[in-house]
Amino acid sequence: MIKGVLPGSIAEELGIEAGDKLIAINDCEIEDVFDYHYWVNDEELSVLIEKPDGEEWELLIEKDCGDDLGIEFEQGLMDEYRSCRNRCMFCFIDQMPEGMRRTLYFKDDDSRLSFLQGNYVTLTNMSDHDIDRIIRYRLEPINISFHTTNPELRCRMLNNRFAGEALLKVDRLFAGEIHMNGQIVLCRGINDGEELERSIRDMAGYLPYLQSVSVVPVGLTKHREGLYPLEPFRQEDAREVLSVIHRWQDRLYEEHGTHFIHAGDEWYILAGEDFPKEERYDGYLQLENGVGMLRLLEDEFDEALREAEGDNKVREVSAATGLLAGPYIQKMADRLMAKYPNTKIHVYPIRNDFFGELITVSGLITGKDLIAQLRGRQIGEKLLLPCNMFRSGEEVFLDDVTLADVEEALQVRADIVKSSGRDFIEAVLTV
């Protein structure tokens, strides 16, 4: 369905209007945005349009290669999103309470969103036709939730009897030389230990097209009534996981020149171990999955602090974050205050009462928890909030509390800060 056409575009010149439907280009049915962008690049096009009254127009178009028609569609994918067919024992969405906005309960498992937005997919609802299109259109990288390479165990973890054979689709992507990234959500006593060793060994066989794999601990909220009884990892567990990962990193770097398998930041914090150096992260391929975020933040902060010129300006600000990053933000604040002696920075790690204290990342903090724990605290001239607390591109928390609501409740100006160490320094100093 066409939502509109751009002024002065080829589509406007030909009489294409909002409410029309794009049926085919060059006699090829248009399933979604990838078909459209693949075929519209040709210099000569036969475009089939259906008008609202059912009349069909066949438009013959000559244009320069790569020129767009100027059509805007009602949905970004030009198709319905594909929802997940699994009932994973560790699914975070199943652990959310009732009463939140409807979109938070949608479980996507769409390979097209993997390409467009970096989402991870299980491959369980992909057909051979879908794989063919990924290879033909070079939709890469595709991010895949492996969790385990043991077919029987994968069926049990995903609660889907087809989840094991779905792994065969990785073979086709590998043969098609499609670049991939992988993910393992590790569950204590389920896919760790020998199963983790097996998974890493099997996935390494897909190098170099499987570029990286992240291992992250399962997130457990307090809303798990009736769900599979999973247990949180302990410090000794985290140290064992890191031992396995580091051993494989050393081996694979020697054999292939890449560390390949990476541990999420939470493992190092739980284990009480230092984060690896930058070169160990192979260019931060798994940054959005929480791998290397704190290392990168610290390195960016160090560089920006060396370049900064101290002053004696009096300023007082606060920074809210999750329990996970709290100690690291505090160290940064202490070093910044040492260089700027008249600057006072209050760091407030927010406990997650909404999801439970086992959830420690800042991206899952709600506005209500933030307000409740900061009300009456010393905040200063402004409150700094990390951008991952908010819905992408908006000023709204997970519980639909807005940035304006926080400012009104706490009677303070609140600024959203980007995720780099340099941005943190600039946000503090620009008061």
Shared domain check, 281 and 321: no
Q: Which of 376, 394, 385, 265 is nearest to 317 (CA)?
A: 385
pLDDT band at 96, cuts 50/70/90? Answer: confident
Segment among 24-38, 127-141, 227-241 with least mean pLDDT: 24-38
Lowest mean pLDDT among 28-32, 180-184, 275-279, 293-297: 28-32
List the beta bridge partners of residue 216: 185
Do 281 and 335 sit in the same domain of this protein?
A: no
Does the pLDDT value for residue 133 go beyond 90? no
Query: Quick check: 103 pLDDT over 90?
Result: no
Closest C-alpha to 201, from 190, 189, 213: 213
Domain span at residue 178 reads: 93-288
| Structure tokens given for 93 | 């969405």
Mark whether 101 and 42 lie in a shared domain: no
Q: Is the pLDDT of residue 17 over 90?
A: yes
Q: How far is residue 216's CA from residue 186's CA, in Å, rounded to a whole number?
A: 6
Give the least confident one: 86-95, 220-229, 231-240, 276-285.
86-95
Is 87 part of any domain?
no
Number of domains in the chain: 3
Quickly state the pLDDT bin for 116 (edges 50, 70, 90): low
pLDDT for 421 equals 93
| Same-domain pairing of 263 and 129 | yes
What integer pLDDT is reported at residue 301 of this predicted model?
96
- Separation of alpha carbons 209 and 13, rounded Å: 44
Q: What CATH number does the domain containing 34 carry?
A: 2.30.42.10
What is the predicted pLDDT for the residue at 108? 62
pLDDT of residue 139: 82
Cα(174)–Cα(172) distance, integer angstroms = 5
Tell whether the model's pLDDT for residue 325 goes beyond 60.
yes
- Indicate the DSSP class of residue 145: E
Both 281 and 370 in one domain: the answer is no
Band the pLDDT of 78: cuts 50, 70, 90. low
Tokens representing residue 75 in the block: 């949905």
CB 69 within 8 A of CB 10: yes
What pLDDT does residue 100 have?
78
- Spell out the residues 6+ positions from residue 269 whose beta carbon is closer than 8 angstroms to its own: 324
pLDDT the model gives residue 158? 95
Same domain, 195 and 131: yes
Same domain (yes/no): 99, 49: no
Report the CATH number that the domain containing residue 383 is assigned in CATH. 3.40.50
CATH number at residue 235: 3.80.30.10
The verdict on residue 83 lying in a domain is: no
- pLDDT of residue 129 exceeding 90: no
Count CB-CB contacts under 10 A for residue 93.
12
213 within some domain: yes
Tell whether the model's pLDDT for residue 302 goes beyond 90: yes
Beta partners for residue 348, in sequence order: 320
The reply to whether 78 falls in a domain is no
**Which among 53-67, 86-100, 106-120 has the top mean pLDDT?**
53-67
Q: Give the pLDDT confidence score for residue 65 in this predicted structure.
A: 83
**So what's the pLDDT on residue 107?**
64
Among residues 288, 310, 331, the one where a domain terminates is 288
> Are 261 and 186 in a shared domain?
yes
The pLDDT value given to residue 137: 85
Q: Are residues 207 and 272 in the same domain?
A: yes
The mean predicted confidence, pLDDT, of the chain is 91
Are 98 and 243 contained in the same domain?
Answer: yes
Q: How many Cα atoms are found within 13 Å in the side-chain-facing hemisphere of 190?
A: 25
Answer yes or no: is pLDDT of 105 > 80: no
Peptide bond into 229 cis (omega under 30): no
Angle, alpha carbons 377-379-383 (nearest 5°): 125
Same domain for 306 and 282? no
Residue 37 clears pLDDT 80, i.e. is over it: no
Q: In the chain, count of helices (H) and strands (E)?
A: 14, 15
Tell me the average pLDDT across 194-204: 98
Q: Which of 251, 266, 288 is the last residue of a domain?
A: 288
Please name the residue that has the structure tokens 């200063």: 380
pLDDT in tens, 342-385: 999 999 999 999 999 999 999 999 999 999 999 999 999 999 99
Tell me what the mean pLDDT of segment 234-243 comes to.
98
Q: Closest Cα partner for 150 from 71, 217, 203? A: 203
With a pLDDT cut of 90, the percent of the chain lying above it is 74
C-alpha distance across the termini of the chain, in Å? 48
pLDDT of residue 110: 59
Domain boundary among 288, 308, 342: 288
Whether 115 has a pLDDT exceeding 60, the answer reads no
